[in-house]
Amino acid sequence: MNTLRRVLHNKNAKILVLLSSLCFCGCAVTGQRASPHVKKTALPPPHPVKTASPSVTSDASLALANIKGEQLKEVVEKKGVVFAKTDFEGILKTDYVKLLLEHQSEKEYTFQLNIGRTQDESDALRDSKTVEPGYFFIELPAGNYRISSVSIPVGSTLATEPMDVYFDVPSDGITYLGTLKLTGTKEKIKLGGVPVIKPGFEYHVNVLNEQMEAISAFHQRYPRVSNKITVNLMKIRTQ
């Protein structure tokens, strides 16, 4: 009997110890859940989002950006209108005549005036203006010009001779230049250069003032234009 009591007493003691351990662990776990210690990681600040918005750039700033160390020029060129009459006689009375117009201060302004119809491939190499024989009315950048050469067809090639006739193109105006009268006197052969033998010709040049007829012809062609017409005849430079 005493032995049984000792066994029961020992078992009860072990049970009490086990229960005490469980209670202590439970309290510890409950304490941890009640006040958890969580390690917080700091996130980096968000990068600002760049929104693509169209940038407005004026035409003027674009133009200025394209100019690198060069002199700033006006975007809009100043131009003028000139008109004159051509009169060809002798051997210069051909299918067409070419006059080379050169600006005296702006060398890039070089124009070829074709009087009459031509299919010459060299026309594509420079700025050309084709007009009918008689009166011509053209727009050119303002400045002083020289008619530096005259050319006519001779067979399958061109015969070219120098010329020294000058005229002015005022800006924003209309100017009558006169009648350019060219009389071809005779053909000739020129030696030297490439090719060695080239065709040529001799001619006389005159500038006539036919103001009344010219102004009438202008108004017939442009009846709605009422601008003032200035008379400033071409000038021949003699040696």
List, run by run, the mean pLDDT of 10-residue segments along the chain (239 residues): 48 51 47 47 46 39 36 53 94 91 90 81 64 89 95 88 96 93 90 76 95 94 89 89
- pLDDT value at residue 197: 81
Query: What amino acid occupies position 36?
Result: P
- pLDDT value at residue 72: 35
Task: Say whether pTM exceeds 0.85.
Answer: no
